[in-house]
Amino acid sequence: MAATARAMQASSGDTLFDEAEESGSYASLSSGVVKLIKTLEDGRQQIVGLQFAPCLIGNLSAPEASVTVEAVGPVFYCKIPREELDARRAENPQLESHLMGELLNELEIARDTMLSLGRKTARERVASFLLRMHEAGGRNASFELALTRTDMADYLGLTLETVSRQLSALKRTGVVEFPHLREVYVRDLARLEAAAGS
């Protein structure tokens, strides 16, 4: 992309940006998935966003990140110096409005997640999550989960045991199958949607 961009890679669990720490660059994710994490002093943590390639990572308004960004599985990305992208944003309204669109989309997802976290049961949260991954995977009956059970728990505001139990229950009742632990096969989409509770 940019002349000064630097190609990088990271493996699962590596930190790309640290909460409240300054960073001189953005990152353009070219392949893989990253999670955005917020942590309480005592270690409890919540995944407040997932980003899939291709996308831009980094706080558009300040050099300090407001979340920790970690790779989920292997990740390829390019570092882009702040000054460079900021200069382009200033002179290119089309880029700015594209970024605005992405931002609005993230806000919308964040608010849906707030509804989930605040008002849905464990069953509904897990089912909604499967449904979203199903849609992200082109509505194919079988798809791959990027996240471990622990990450799902941190994303859904549950414990990993609860996530596991809910997945088992969905499997037991014939709604989905798990050919390979991280692979999901949707057997009864209507019932999965019903379980997600909208």
Partner DNA sequence: CGCAGGCTTGAGTCCATTCAAGTACAGTGG
Partner DNA sequence: CCACTGTACTTGAATGGACTCAAGCCTGCG
Contact residues for DNA, defined by CB under 7 A: 121-123, 148-150, 157-165, 167-168, 178, 180-182
- Shortest spacing between CB 164 and its own copies, in angstroms: 18
169, HSE (Cβ side, Cα atoms, 13 Å): 14
- Shortest spacing between CB 169 and its own copies, in angstroms: 20
Pick one of DNA, its own copies, none as the site partner of residue 160 (Cβ within 5 to 8 A by kind).
DNA
Q: Report if residue 46 touches its own copies, rule: CB under 8 A.
A: yes
Task: Tell me the one-letter amino acid at 15.
Answer: T
Count of residues touching its own copies (by CB under 8 A): 43
Nearer Cβ to DNA, position 38 or 82?
A: 38
3-state secondary structure the chain: CCCCCEEEEECCCCEEECCCCECCEEEEEEEEEEEEEEECCCCCEEEEEEEECCEEECCCCCCECCCEEEEEEEEEEEEEEHHHHHHHHHHCHHHHHHHHHHHHHHHHHHHHHHHHHHHCCHHHHHHHHHHHHHHHCCCCCEEECCCCHHHHHHHHCCCHHHHHHHHHHHHHCCCEECCCCCEEEECCHHHHHHHHCC
Pick one of DNA, its own copies, none as the site partner of residue 159 (Cβ within 5 to 8 A by kind).
DNA
Pick one of DNA, its own copies, none as the site partner of residue 161 (Cβ within 5 to 8 A by kind).
DNA
Nearer Cβ to its own copies, position 2 or 194?
A: 194
Nearer Cβ to DNA, position 114 or 181?
A: 181
Task: Please state, in angstroms and rounded to a whole number, the distance separating the CA atoms of residues 52 and 55.
Answer: 7
Q: Report if residue 150 touches its own copies, rule: CB under 8 A.
A: no
Pick one of DNA, its own copies, none as the site partner of residue 140 (Cβ within 5 to 8 A by kind).
none
Positive or negative torsion for Cα 74, 76, 81, 87: negative
- Shortest spacing between CB 162 and DNA, in angstroms: 3
Contact footprint for its own copies (CB under 8 A): 36, 38, 40-42, 44-46, 48-49, 59-61, 66-67, 90, 93, 96-97, 99-101, 103-108, 110-115, 117-120, 154, 156-157, 197-198
